[in-house]
Amino acid sequence: MSSVAEEPYREGLEGVIANETAIANLEGREGSGGLEYRGYRIEDLAGNVSYEETAFLLLHGDLPTRAQLREFDSRLRASRDLPAPLVQLFREIPETAHPMDVIRTSVSVLAHFDPDVNAPPTDHAANVRKAERLVAQMPTAVAFRERIVNGNAPIAPRADLDHAANFLNMVNGKMPSPTMSSAFDLSLVLYTEHELNASTFSARVTVSTLSDLHSGIVAAIGTLKGPLHGGANEEAWKVLEEVGSPENALKWIEDALAQKRRIMGFGHRVYKTGDPRSRILKPHCAALAAEIGDDRWERIAEPIEQIVTTQKHLPPNVDWPSARLYHYMGLDIDLYTPIFAMARVAGWAAHIIEQLDHNRLMRPRARYIGPPNRPVKPLDAR
């Protein structure tokens, strides 16, 4: 083993291989942009499988048969309800609390009421059951808090609705259009998994100490919140609001780049020639804009996307189109990242389970650059 002084230091762990995984591949076949979930190209999954099928793929290793999907889906629908104390807590938490902080708290509270809470952390079957329950419960938690904090009664989950439509109905109090529901389901599929991004890495480090699945998910939510990661979809919407009108777009972006501002929703640590998820989502933004009869935001977004892509060579990432998509669905801005979290929970859980199935404690080293060795002076001599 070489010494700490000899090992290369890569700031932000850029390019460091910290895990092996069978869950997602960002180096997929040429031309696919690279993203594959357990060998399936994201372009082939998108629009052809539901979020439920995607979550099953990640948690159980392959796409479900019709019988497997029926059983999985009925387990999810039966697990959507929340323990009463958590619903009461939504009424006590200050209104000013950000929904990402509330969903982080929610997962912590849900752990106390999970029937497998005392299972050994490496109990694979128990971890899959815990993961399935969180996939089902997190949308209810996000929706219930949203309703309560806006002075409305929570709307109970409906067993006759699929994952996407049920969430939109719980939040908006009305059934989404088929276009809206399928676009939302697609966004969940695209958000589900993305290899060793910061929040997934955080989850894996947490459980590598043999801590439990819920602790790993709480750590991941706290990590996802940051604007350099999941919080970017909320910030991307604020960019569009700040621009305000299509006529203002060119001047705004030229000024922003001149001021060296970081344009949220653009750039990626891994994708340097574009995020396939952004390309897949973009046409759905235009379709929903047409459905609601307001293409203003598309006409604001396009020149910004063109300029940042061509002048900064920073293509849009998944957060750039998803911000507009969620606006068209009537969702409040501060729900955008919680939605990312409730989709990604299946990916986080799959990585946690993979880590615990074949674990080694993660403990990197740091290179010391502080003061050289020196004697301790008595207090009065300092």
Residue ranges that bind ligand SDX, judged by CB under 6 A: 12, 194, 197, 228-230, 232, 262-270, 312, 314, 317-319
Which one of the listed residues 229, 268, 327, 351 is annotated catalytic?
A: 268
CA distances to 183, 202, 376 from 163, rounded to whole Å, are: 12, 26, 62
Alpha-carbon span 31 to 245, nearest angstrom: 35
Q: Which is nearer to ligand SDX, 126 or 263 (CB)?
A: 263
Q: Which is nearer to ligand SDX, 174 or 262 (CB)?
A: 262
Q: Which is nearer to ligand SDX, 80 or 194 (CB)?
A: 194
Alpha-carbon span 259 to 199, nearest angstrom: 30
**Roughly how many angstroms between the first and final C-alpha of the chain, as a whole number?**
39
Q: Which is nearer to ligand SDX, 23 or 82 (CB)?
A: 23
Is 102:93 a contact under the CB 8 Å cutoff? Answer: yes
282: left (phi over 0), alpha (psi -120 to 50) or beta: alpha
The least CB distance from residue 49 to ligand SDX, in Å, is 18
| b/e code 205-218 from CB counts within 10 Å (16+ = b) | bbbbeebbbbbbbb
* Block residue for tokens 């501060």: 334
For the four alpha carbons of 256, 262, 265 and 269, in that order, the dihedral sign comes to positive
Which one of the listed residues 284, 319, 327, 351 is annotated catalytic?
A: 319
Q: Which is nearer to ligand SDX, 313 or 367 (CB)?
A: 313
H/E element, 41: strand 40-41
Nearest to 307 by CA among 271, 258, 272, 269: 258
Q: Which is nearer to ligand SDX, 12 or 375 (CB)?
A: 12
Nearest to 124 by CA among 345, 349, 360: 349
Query: Annotated catalytic, 112?
Result: no
Q: Which is nearer to ligand SDX, 15 or 31 (CB)?
A: 15
Query: Annotated catalytic, 194?
Result: no
Report CA Rg, the chain: 22
Residue type, 292: I
Alpha-carbon span 148 to 140, nearest angstrom: 12
Count Cβ atoms within 10 A of the Cβ of residue 192 and give its class: 0-12 exposed, 13-18 middle, 19 or more buried: buried
The least CB distance from residue 70 to ligand SDX, in Å, is 29
The least CB distance from residue 257 to ligand SDX, in Å, is 7
Question: Which alpha helices (H) appear in the chain, and where do they start and end?
Answer: 42-45, 51-60, 66-78, 84-92, 99-112, 124-149, 163-172, 178-191, 198-207, 213-224, 232-243, 246-258, 276-292, 296-311, 319-328, 336-357
Altogether, the residues listed in the chain come to a count of 382
Residues annotated catalytic, as ranges: 268, 319
